[in-house]
Structure 1
Amino acid sequence: MKRILITGGAGFLGSHLCDRFIKEGYHVIAMDNLITGDLRNIEHLFKLENFEFYHHDVSKFIHVPGELDYILHFASPASPIDYLKIPIQTLKVGSLGIHNCLGLARVKKARVLIASTSEVYGDPLVHPQTEDYWGNVNPVGPRGVYDEAKRFQEAMTMAYHTYHGVETRIVRIFNTYGPRMRLNDGRVLPAFIGQALRGEDLTIFGDGSQTRSFCYVDDLVEGIYRLLHSDYAQPVNIGNPNEITIADFAEEIIKLTGTDQKVIYKDLPKDDPKQRKPDITRAKEILKWEPKVDRAEGLKTTYAYFKEFSKERLYDEAKHREF
């Protein structure tokens, strides 16, 4: 049985990866310090013999006994609310964290796949974004702690690949959504749905003309799985190139939720990207991958999850008040 370590395993993407590799017959070791992760995302796996959980900060020395075949480094705050609140931890997990993972991979002779992001492109001057584009990032702006952590992470990974011969893979993840996202994480999709569920007006930052491209989590996981088992070491964009403006997306959410909220506009945050659309030519050619889940279908599933989650949270708060 192959053994895989997934850092950030209790997070949104990490927990879905745990599910996928359990399904594929792997022994999965999830590691998370739970700063942004949630044990509820993986509690269904605790009863399994081929699943382990380590409550540990990957920025500190990592020890995993026994053989290890693969490492997926997905530990990192990933939303503006998180990385603006804990900027030092964000930088550390992208520097010390990846250094620890790569060192462990070298010792264990394991293959490493790191979660990079479309944020390495910053506010892009090239559209759509190809892997050959170097980006337009402000290193000292508010988003720099996340953007530069990911860029450093890529550089460190390639250094270990080049100079130590470690088998490495780099996935650049574009906007992804699905069950287990947090309603309060500040990203546009959960923010819109959260406001709709609470009966609040939907808030658009900027004039709404900026664009995003939303990929359903199952499609992303499939792309990551294929990349891990490929022979390709250069970065690969994984995302859905179906681009939509934020204003049009807000209207989709209003229609989906059946609410009659208005849309209000506020100032665009500094360095917020105006355009975001992946060029997935490389993924198509090398991985034979492209997204399959239509946005309407994915949003329906995600909204159903958020509605149920909101009911559970209200129930938990009511029980707490009883005591």
Structure 2
Amino acid sequence: MKNVLITGGLGFLGSYSIQLWERNGWDVTVIDNLSTNVILPSHEICNNAKVIVKDILDHKWVSGESYDMIVHLASPVGPAGILKHSGKMANYILSDIYWAIEGAKRFSCPLIFVSTSEIYGHRDKAIFLKEEDDKILRGDFSVRNEYSMAKLLSEIVISNCGKVADLQYQIIRPFNISGARQLKDGGFVLPTFVNQALAGDDITVFNTGDQIRAFTHVSDIVEGMYLISTAEEKYFNECWNIGNFKNVSTINELADIVKEKTNSASKITHVDPKTIHGPLYEEAWDKIPDASKVSSLLGWKPHWGKEGIIQDVIDYYEDMS
């Protein structure tokens, strides 16, 4: 049986990754510092996994420890969740990357790095973004830029290490993940709207609400991750988008659907996000994924439509209440 190490495995994406890798016959080890977790080590999802609760930089490789793959998910997350790491986040992200590269070299195993679609940066209007497209990051010194640039630099470091050392890797750029277990705490829009609607509070749309997103269900993202992680060797050392362009909507449309599906009496209001999250907050740019590469080469196909994703989040929070 093969062994996989998943960093940040108790987080939103990580918890689904544990389940999928185990279903495919892998032994799973998780390292997580419980900073952005959605489940605890005692959760039934972890029943067959080995869970190490610590910061990955505090984990020292020990004799007898061996992995056939490292899936690196550990990272600050969320448009609001990253704000508390202002001025320190780039160091966190890059230090973790060098640690993950060291591990992949030590065990002669592939490194799967889950990056972000935010590395594509700013466009004047929403376009379909391909892996090879230019990365256009504005010159402002925002926390969001610190996050985006640290992720992009991580990709560059991994790629350049692969050119001069025997490092097998995959770089994955997911677009607008959502689904059951996603928390509102990091500023994620869909669970925020759902919680507001269920509580009868105002549904707070930021700015005009015309921002464009393309939501992809977390299980579709993780299935794409697994296909990429276990692809033939000829498909390695590549960058891959994962996202469902068919689920494009504006934030206004999202708020309307949430209100309708929850039968909520909430009012939809438009607010300045800085009044909620503070002066460091910056809104994401419009982005639509072009995932034709993973679809055509590896056969990835998303299964969840926009309304199904929204209902999944609603059901999750209704069950919790």
**Which amino acid in structure 2 is aligned with residue 145 of structure 1?**
E
Q: 1:98 to 1:274 in 2, by over 3 A?
A: closer
Does 1:15 pair with 2:15? yes
- Which ranges in structure 1 are unaligned for 5 or more consecutive residues? 312-323
CA deviation digits over 1:169-218, x for unaligned, max 9? 01001001111111322111111111112211111112111100000111
Residue 44 of structure 1 is matched in structure 2 by 44
Question: Normalising by the residue count of structure 2, what TM-score does the alignment of the two structures yield?
Answer: 0.90
User: Which one of 251, 258, 270 corresponds to residue 256 of structure 2?
Assistant: 251
Residues 159-198 of structure 1: matches in 2 within 5 Å?
159-198=160-199
- Closer/same/farther in 2, CA of residues 226 and 301 from structure 1, 3 Å limit: same
Displacement, 1:61? 4.9
Structure 2, unmatched stretches of 5+, are 275-280
Deviates more, 1:117-126 or 1:78-87: 117-126
Matched with 2:307 is 296
Residue in 2 aligned with 1:112?
A: 111
Which sits farther off after the overlay, 131-140 or 285-294? 131-140
What residue is the counterpart of 2:278 in the other structure? none
Q: Does 1 or 2 have the higher relative contact order (CA < 8 Å, sep 6+)?
A: 2
1:122 matched to 2:121? The reply is yes
Matches within 5 A, 1:1-323: 1-40=1-40, 43-48=43-48, 51-63=49-61, 65-88=64-87, 90-125=89-124, 127-138=127-138, 140-230=141-231, 231-242=235-246, 243-267=248-272, 271-309=282-320, 311=321
Identity %: 28
Would you say the 8 A contact 1:238–1:278 is kept in 2?
yes
**Contact in 2 for aligned 1:138/1:271 (Cα 8 Å):** no
Distance 1:23 1:179 in 2: 19
Task: Give yes or no for contact 1:123–1:271 (8 Å, CA) kept in 2.
Answer: no
Check conservation: 2:172, 2:241, Cα contact below 8 A: yes
**Shift of residue 91, structure 1, vs aligned partner:** 2.1
Q: Structure 2: how far apart are the matches of 1:42 and 1:305?
A: 19
Query: 1:260 is aligned with what amino acid?
Result: A
CA distance in 2 between counterparts of 1:237 and 1:210 reads 20
CA RMSD of aligned residues (A): 1.8
Matching residue's letter, 2:224: G
Give the SS at the match of 2:224: helix
Aligned length: 308
Tell me the alpha carbon deviations over residues 26-52 of structure 1, each in whole angstroms, 9 at most, x when there is no partner.
11001101111144376114432xx20
Cα distance, 1:59 vs structure 2:
3.5
Kindly state the Cα deviation for residue 164 of structure 1 after the two structures are TM-superposed: 0.8
Q: Secondary structure of the residue that 2:56 maps to in structure 1?
A: coil
| Cα distance in 2 for residues equivalent to 1:256 and 1:233 | 42
Q: Are the equivalent residues in 1 in contact too, given 2:161–2:167 (CA < 8 A)?
A: yes
